[in-house]
Amino acid sequence: MPKVRTTYVCRECGAESSQWFGKCPSCGTYGSLEEQLSQPTASTAPASDRRHRAKADKNRPAQARAARHLDAIASDRQARFSSGYQEFDRVLGGGLVPGSLVLIGGDPGIGKSTLLLQTARAIAAERSILYVCAEESGQQVKLRATRLGVTATDPAIATNLYLLPEIGLEVILAELEALRPAVAVIDSIQALYFSALTSAPGSVAQVRECTAALMRVAKQLGIVLLIVGHVTKEGAIAGPRVLEHLVDTVLYFEGDRYAAHRLLRSVKNRFGATHEIGIFEMGDRGLDEVLNPSRLFLGNTDDPAPGTAAVVACEGTRPLVVELQALVSPTSYASPRRSATGASYNRLQQILAVLEKRVGIPLSKLDAYVAAAGGMAVEEPATDLGIAIAIVASFRDRVVDPRTVLIGEVGLGGQVRLVSQLELRLKEAAKLGFRRAIVPQGQSLPTDLGLELIPVSKAIDAIVAALPATEKPTRTAGN
């Protein structure tokens, strides 16, 4: 077997070097050399070895081809199984796929380890699972497990849940091949260490090689790998971008540390839809599923305030009814302030310009603030109409009917554009007790939902429908 050697490759120009330099000898870029493992090719082997290999290849009989027809490949191995949580299964696209790699990233302390430990408890009821804790000792993990109610007194947990406090990649691979569990949790990938590399754990080379080795074992043995990944200050998974390309699914665990709810968001999924979200609530006993999340992002409909409007945002295939709040007030500065919390700042600027140019509402000398209730981020264009109506309602000190939902994209010409998944959005609004919906004109509208549907083609028509002129505006641009 040829000896594995270490080389250093420049990520900018691809030049190779046998030792590390602070500056690439070829292109002069600083800090661009990355450690890689390589094996000698046939051309770099000694001449005697090449002649011996060529003679052996010539005398070796032709082997049967390894390629097979698509219908000859068994598909029963890809049967999904549940993680034990409906919200987790929704984000995964219906459950865990054997042989898949799932990368879960999130800020420190957001609850990644808690989520996976609770998932391990649910999976252990039917299948074997190996929990590799590379950042904590076994005693620390057991202490957290006891707090979450994961105790060895449960026969299934005592039989099927295995704990391995280890950072050495070789030991972990040997344990996976010997135990062959249905699911393995790696917490975290940045803490693993491959002894063939001289770099420290968490480096680009270590993360890449450890993930590639784990992927080979998972594909061969049909093991589901749940991998925890740290994130950078910018919110991206720490380490090389190739890490996200190697895995099958990339999930982000998000949430405000001052709020109880957590969002599990899918940004890549080879086995399901992307941009799906699952919602959990952090409590004293760990994470609980939120099966009706629209209730979480709706305000008090019994006492509505001026400048609020309800919209329906779609995250993947899940519709969510969210309350938007707007505040318009005279500015104290030369330039008015604009702030968007949970909404797109650029779309807010665009909607303000449309309202001033196409509708005639003077907003250029007023501060404008928009926020989504519950900390939910809604950035899709279908929420434009709700933002526009909330701003106008705040400008006029008027209250939008709390049983009215607004759906539509606002164009630069002041028109209300069509949106996708309209029927799905309307069904969610009807389920929550809304009576009226203002929607774009020209779309096929369902008639059996019990909603009064008001199609509009212009933003000014939506304003008239949402805020009937029964009162005169109480605020002008000058006061």
Tell me how far the alpha carbon of residue 103 is from its chain's centroid. 10
C-beta of residue 290 within 8 angstroms of C-beta of residue 299: no
Q: Which residues of 70-87 are buried (b: 16+ CB within 10 A; e: fewer)?
A: eeeeeeeeeebbebbbeb
Which tens digits make up the pLDDT trace of 316-332?
888 999 999 999 999 98
What single-letter amino acid sits at 88?
A: F
Cβ partners under 8 Å of residue 348, min gap 6:
338, 340, 368, 370, 387
Distance CA 429, CA 443 (A): 17
Does 91 score more than 80 pLDDT? yes
- Six token digits for residue 340: 């968007």
Per cent of the chain over pLDDT 90 is 51
Q: Say what the pLDDT of residue 473 is.
A: 41
pLDDT of 315: 84
Per-residue confidence (pLDDT) for residue 78, from 0 to 100: 59
Please tell me the total number of residues recorded for the chain in this structure. Answer: 479
CB 78 within 8 A of CB 98: yes
Say if strands 318-330 and 308-315 run parallel, antiparallel, or are unpaired. Answer: antiparallel
- In angstroms, the first-to-last Cα distance of the chain is 83
Residue range 184-212: average pLDDT?
88
Q: How confident is the model at residue 333 (pLDDT cuts 50, 70, 90)?
A: confident
Is residue 211 classed as helix, strand or coil in its secondary structure?
Answer: helix
Of 242, 247, 245, nearest to 228 (Cα)? Answer: 247
Structure pTM? 0.77
Please tell me the predicted confidence (pLDDT) of residue 51: 59
- C-alpha distances in Å from residue 156, one per residue of 153, 245, 380, 444: 9, 35, 44, 52
| Banded model confidence at residue 392, pLDDT cuts 50, 70, 90 | very high
Q: Which of 153, 115, 333, 132 is nearest to 223 (CA)?
A: 132
The whole-number pLDDT of residue 468 equals: 79
Instruction: Return the pLDDT at 472.
Output: 43
| 228 pLDDT more than 60 | yes
Q: For CA atoms 113, 248, 97, 317, give the dihedral sign.
A: positive
Query: Running DSSP on this structure, what letter comes out for residue 293?
Result: G
Give the mean pLDDT of 137-158.
82
The residues near 429 (Cβ < 8 Å, ≥ 6 apart) are: 310, 312, 321, 405, 437, 451
* Domains, the chain, ordered by start: 1-45 (no CATH), 76-291 (3.40.50.300), 295-466 (3.30.230.10)
